[in-house]
Amino acid sequence: MRTLLAAILALTVTSSFAAEAPIVIKFSHVVAVDTPKGKAADYFKKIAEERTKGRVKVEVYPNSQLYKDKEEMEALQLGAVQMLAPSLAKFGPLGVKEFEIFDLPYIFDSYAEVDKVMKGPIGAKLFTKLETKGIKALGFWENGFKNFSSNKPIRTPNDLRGMKIRIQSSKVLDEEMRTLGALPQVMAFSEVYQALQTGVVDGTELEPSNLYTSKAFEVQKHLTLTNHGFLGYAVIVNKTFWEGLPADIRATLTTAMNDSSTYANQIAKQETDKALAAIKASGKTTIYTPTAAERAAFRKALIPVHQKMSSRFGQDLLTEIYKETAFKPVE
Ligand code: LMR
């Protein structure tokens, strides 16, 4: 009898413990805590845990602590992590090539143009494309505009000829570099600093907060503010995990994510401006702002990439974006 009672007690304790065990969301990302994405991930953790009153625990793993770029995509599909915010340039290997349209040089001239596209029907349509891959997109987070850096001054498109430039795993970025006569090298973000330091690559096209927090600026003497490409993220979850959550939790997390996206997009510009100021203050990197004529020369050299790569995402999608942003091939 005593044994039976003990067994029942043990069972009760175990099941009530199981009922109270929080749902864990592992949120893996590849950049520093002190970046727009790092801050927004921490913000999501805070409000998600508060609003679910501890029923959800969000564990944020920054700086590729758990996985590098390509591995984290695989980990999400396998269910080893539940949430990521990869840049839109990293969805090609999943078979969702349309996201690479965001990598087109000079397709966006401002955050307002990006907003129009991502927060409208085009963004929604792109997000549904992920569902067939077992992935659900919950939000779109902005970061900023990328610039060329290297150890020699870059003033004209020709200056990039023959240079080895690190890129993210996007075929559009690959073509961008080839169009400039540069040699693209796909590389995980966590490897960039060392690759620059050891001369495996000569330069980058990073956005300021990543250039600063990764310390890559310390091994790049020159930064030219070409602002030639946009860097943004889709926050994604494993679809099976998401759909298996209790409905009330899913609803609370959806609102928490919407609020986190608003926060991310509010801080993005100020964070990148802050990083640029810090790079300048370090005195390690000379920052150059191209003249209008120099900017026009970069645009002229790079805009042909739009047509060269149009089969990757479809001319229709490109036309839709052009219409939304009132795109002009010549400014
Ligand atoms: C990069 O690889 O340069 C960026 O996508 C890193 C990031 O996540 O911002």
> Would the CB of 214 count as within 6 Å of ligand 1?
no
Q: Are 114 and 273 in contact (CB under 8 A)?
A: no
How far is 271 from 103, CA to CA, in rounded Å? 21
How far is 191 from 70, CA to CA, in rounded Å? 13
Q: Are 184 and 254 in contact (CB under 8 A)?
A: no
Q: Is 184 left (phi over 0), alpha (psi -120 to 50) or beta?
A: beta
Atom index in ligand 1 nearest the CA of residue 35 equals 9
Report the pLDDT value the prediction gives residue 330, as an integer from 0 to 100.
87
Residue with CA nearest ligand 1 atom 3: 189
Report the pLDDT value the prediction gives residue 91, as an integer from 0 to 100.
95
Report the pLDDT value the prediction gives residue 8, as an integer from 0 to 100.
46
Q: What angle do CA 285, 286, 292 make, to 5 degrees?
A: 140
Residue to mutate, 187, 231, 235, ligand 1, most ligand atoms under 8 Å from C-beta: 231
Tell me how far the alpha carbon of residue 169 lies from the centroid of ligand 1, in angstroms: 10
Intra-chain end-to-end CA distance of the chain, in Å: 87
> Would the CB of 265 count as within 6 Å of ligand 1?
no
Name the H helices within the chain: 2-20, 36-51, 69-78, 111-118, 121-129, 171-179, 192-197, 208-213, 239-243, 247-282, 292-302, 304-308, 310-313, 315-325
Residue to mutate, 29, 30, 69, 170, ligand 1, most ligand atoms under 8 Å from C-beta: 30
Report the pLDDT value the prediction gives residue 94, as an integer from 0 to 100.
85
Report the pLDDT value the prediction gives residue 19, as an integer from 0 to 100.
59
Token digits of residue 75: 């980990």
Tell me how far the alpha carbon of residue 324 lies from the centroid of ligand 1, in angstroms: 26
Report the pLDDT value the prediction gives residue 270, as an integer from 0 to 100.
96
Residue to mutate, 191, 210, 230, ligand 1, most ligand atoms under 8 Å from C-beta: 210
Q: Are 163 and 196 in contact (CB under 8 A)?
A: no
Tell me how far the alpha carbon of residue 6 lies from the centroid of ligand 1, in angstroms: 54
How far is 87 from 30, CA to CA, in rounded Å? 10
Tell me how far the alpha carbon of residue 104 lies from the centroid of ligand 1, in angstroms: 16
> Would the CB of 170 count as within 6 Å of ligand 1?
no
SS3 194: helix
In this structure, the strands spanning 203-206 and 183-186 are unpaired
Report the pLDDT value the prediction gives residue 329, as an integer from 0 to 100.
87
Tell me how far the alpha carbon of residue 29 lies from the centroid of ligand 1, in angstroms: 9
Tell me how far the alpha carbon of residue 183 lies from the centroid of ligand 1, in angstroms: 19
Torsion of CA 135, 236, 250, 269, to 10 degrees: -160
> Would the CB of 31 count as within 6 Å of ligand 1?
yes
Tell me how far the alpha carbon of residue 22 lies from the centroid of ligand 1, in angstroms: 30
Which whole-number Å values give the CA distances from 181 to 130, 301, 330, in the listed order? 33, 11, 22
How far is 38 from 260, CA to CA, in rounded Å? 11
Which whole-number Å values give the CA distances from 264 to 39, 141, 259, 267, in the listed order? 8, 6, 9, 5
Q: pTM higher than 0.85 for the full model?
A: yes
DSSP 303: T
Supply φ then ψ for residue 142, to 5 degrees. -90, 155
CB half-sphere exposure, 133, CA atoms < 13 A: 21
> Would the CB of 189 count as within 6 Å of ligand 1?
yes
**What kind of architecture, by CATH, is found in domain 2-325?**
3-Layer(aba) Sandwich (3.40)
Tell me how far the alpha carbon of residue 312 lies from the centroid of ligand 1, in angstroms: 21
Residue with CA nearest ligand 1 atom 6: 189
How far is 284 from 269, CA to CA, in rounded Å? 22
Report the pLDDT value the prediction gives residue 15, as an integer from 0 to 100.
47
DSSP 187: -
Q: Which residues of the chain have pLDDT under 70?
A: 1-19
Tell me how far the alpha carbon of residue 86 lies from the centroid of ligand 1, in angstroms: 7
